[in-house]
Structure 1
């Protein structure tokens, strides 16, 4: 009849459907594989989701005295990350959260003014330095 059935693979779960890993988790595993041999001179992350899992996986590969920077459009994930790093990690110091601010302008002939539909925030940045504990 023209309908395609999905083939079941060997890594099936209990429901009979194939296990499906999120794309971000596969990308994270690829990043870990790249960083394992030589480490990283810094870590810059821009994320839409909660960044703690990403930081926990990649932070061990950041060399000492190197910077960690995490960008998020919202402050709450960074506050939770800040609290978790302060509480559980002794190898990250100098943690600060900054708010970005961006004002776009509309430029027309003989007049310039701030864009009427601009947002109040350009996002937030958490910065810190990894050290040897």
Structure 2
């Protein structure tokens, strides 16, 4: 029994080391919605659960340009599913957007009801760990 526990502990340690090494190499790219992409099927509002985001990480939004877009908005526009003069629109179908330190908000504004149905995401990007900072 102790051998099994030791083996599991060793495997977990190796996994955590690999995650740390991957993070220590620099920003991480996250595909929003994972394999489902930037769609309602990808559950954008809950997609962030269990993920840690740092300033400088990159969100990759993959979607069909006939069915969606990506708009960087402020908190009010995110909550209201609206856009304003300061909103930044993307529509390539494969947009890569670097997270800024602090709150980052994204919605789909096309078609109009997508956001109200849950096609939006809010991410708080924290400062990178000291190992990622340039010395």
TM-score, with length taken from structure 2 = 0.33
Q: If you compute each CA radius of gyration, which structure gives the higher value, 1 or 2?
A: 1
TM-score, with length taken from structure 1 = 0.33
